[in-house]
Structure 1
Amino acid sequence: MKRIAVLGSTGSIGTQALEVAAAHPDRFRVVALAAHHNDRLLAEQLDRFRPALAVLADGEAADRLRGHYRGPAKIMAGEEGLIAAATLAEADTVLTSLVGFAGLRPTLAAIEAGKNIALANKETLVAAGELVTAAARRRGVAILPVDSEHSAILQCLQGEGRAGVRRLILTASGGPFRERAKETLPRVTVSECLKHPNWSMGRKITVDSATLANKGLEVIEARWLFDMDYDAIDVVVHPQSIIHSMVEFVDGSVMAQLGRPDMRLPIQYAFSFPDRWPADFARLDFTALSALTFAPPDTDRFPALAMGYEAGRRGGTAPCVFNAANEAAVNAFLSGEITFTAITASVRRALDAHADVASPTLADLCAADEWARAFVARIIPELK
Structure 2
Amino acid sequence: MSVYEVLSERGFIQQVTHEEEVRELLAKEKITFYIGFDPTADSLHVGHFLGMMVMAHMQRAGHRPICLIGGGTTMVGDPSGKTDMRKMMTREEIDANGELFKKQMQRFLDFSNDRALMINNADWLLKLNYVKFLRDIGVHFSVNRMLTAECYRNRLEKGLTFLEFNYMLMQAYDFLELNRQTGCVMQMGGDDQWSNILAGADLIRRKEGKPAYGLTFTLLTTSDGRKMGKTEKGALWLDPEKTPPYDFYQYWRNIDDADVGKCLALLTFLPMDEVRRLGALRDSEINIAKKTLAYEVTKLIHGQDEADKARQAAEALFAGGGSLDNVPTTVLSPADISNKRLIEILPVTGLAASLGEGRRLIAGGGLYIGEEKVEDPNMILDLAAFKDNSLLLRKGKKTYHRIIIQ
Structure 1 length-normalised TM:
0.29
Structure 2 length-normalised TM:
0.28
Larger Rg: 2
